[in-house]
Structure 1
Amino acid sequence: MPSKEYAGSLLFGRRKDNRPEPLDKWRLVSNNKAIRDRLGEVLETSRVQVLLDGVDSVRLEMVQWDQSGVVHHCDGFRYLSPVERVGDACGCPPEIESRKRGAASGLGPQPSVRISFRVAKFPEVGTFVFRSSSWAFLRAAASLKGDLGLSAGGTLCDLSIEAVKLESSSGAVLTYFQPVILAA
């Protein structure tokens, strides 16, 4: 797939004091100041409505890295690279839970999901991108991609950041943030 110029990207984290810091609101990254100014108020929130323009708006990939670089790049079924292996069966298990166990043990690839979209309130501004390596986001995006294949035209979706609270065995409450996408 050819490289595409995006108006910007959405993130829900940043680096502070050289450490990753999760955010509970979207962060817009764009080289265009006019775009940042126009969309700044829309994105000062944990939820933004986006328009997906068909099934190609959702790209589901699996990638495994080591010290030398990418050692496995597929869509979960067939290799996407290197060129000499494109289209060959990759050997990944069909079930996401099995893939997750393989990745956790260092023996398999992890999700690399890319959603390209237009902000629903300002669709004329351009196409943006959001990337995630979350297993939960992979499941949601795969389901959404299947639905997009059945619909014609743009699909309105909610892209949000959800706080998830977990209690540790010591009783401490831990909060982490995860991206969520749902058809509106």
Structure 2
Amino acid sequence: MTQSALTPVGRFRTGRSAEGCPQALDAWRVTTDDAEVAAPVAGLLGGQPQPNEGGGELAHEVLTKVETVRVLMDGPDAVAAHMVLWGSKGIVHQCDG
């Protein structure tokens, strides 16, 4: 299977926005648009599926109970990370680190 054939069903996140402020988390946060994905994630990693109130475009989130997750990746392009500096009026700067 090639990278182009894959369709993401959710995202692993290290933080969220709480009352407009960035918040780092001690465990993984998984976001998805599909409630049928959120339920098994919670079953495997702990936590409860809930509405995504931590910011972002995906409707559901699971605040997991785990600090580490073993994954198999399809090469170095399978991971994307970026940093965003927010100001009072929105994004001031963003980069890939």
1:17, distance to aligned residue in structure 2 (A): 0.9
Structure 2: which amino acid aligns with 1:22?
A
TM-score of the two chains, using structure 2 as the length reference: 0.53
Which structure has greater strand proportion? 1
Instruction: Answer yes or no: is 1:50 the counterpart of 2:50.
Output: no
Q: Which residue of 2 aligns with 1:37?
A: 39
- Matched residue count: 62
Instruction: Answer yes or no: is 1:20 the counterpart of 2:25.
Output: no
Q: Any idea what SS the aligned residue of 1:46 has?
A: coil
State the superposition RMSD in angstroms.
2.4
Higher relative contact order (CA 8 A, sep 6+): 1
In the TM superposition, what whole-angstrom CA distance separates every residue of 1:68-124 from its partner, at most 9, and x where no partner exists? xxxxxxxxxxxxxxxxxxxxxxxxxxxxxxxxxxxxxxxxxxxxxx52xxxxxxxxx
Q: Which residue of 1 aligns with 2:86?
A: none
Q: Which residue of 2 aligns with 1:176?
A: none
Structure 2: which amino acid aligns with 1:44?
K
**Counterparts in 2 of 1:18 and 1:3: CA distance versus 1, 3 Å:** farther
User: Partners of 1:37 and 1:44 in 2: how far apart?
Assistant: 14
Q: Any idea what SS the aligned residue of 1:21 has?
A: strand
1:31, distance to aligned residue in structure 2 (A): 0.6
Structure 2: which amino acid aligns with 1:46?
E
Work out the percentage of aligned pairs sharing the same amino acid. Answer: 19
1:133, distance to aligned residue in structure 2 (A): 3.4
1:34, distance to aligned residue in structure 2 (A): 1.2
Q: Any idea what SS the aligned residue of 1:29 has?
A: strand
| 5+ long unaligned stretches in structure 1 | 60-113, 116-130, 135-184
User: Partners of 2:11 and 2:41 in 1: how far apart?
Assistant: 12
Contact 1:11 1:28 in 2 (8 A): yes
TM-score of the two chains, using structure 1 as the length reference: 0.30
User: Partners of 1:51 and 1:3 in 2: how far apart?
Assistant: 16
Q: Quick check: which has more Rg, 1 or 2?
A: 1
Q: Any idea what SS the aligned residue of 1:45 has?
A: coil
Q: Which residue of 2 aligns with 1:133?
A: 82
**Counterparts in 2 of 1:3 and 1:20: CA distance versus 1, 3 Å:** farther
1:29, distance to aligned residue in structure 2 (A): 0.5
User: Partners of 1:51 and 1:13 in 2: how far apart?
Assistant: 22
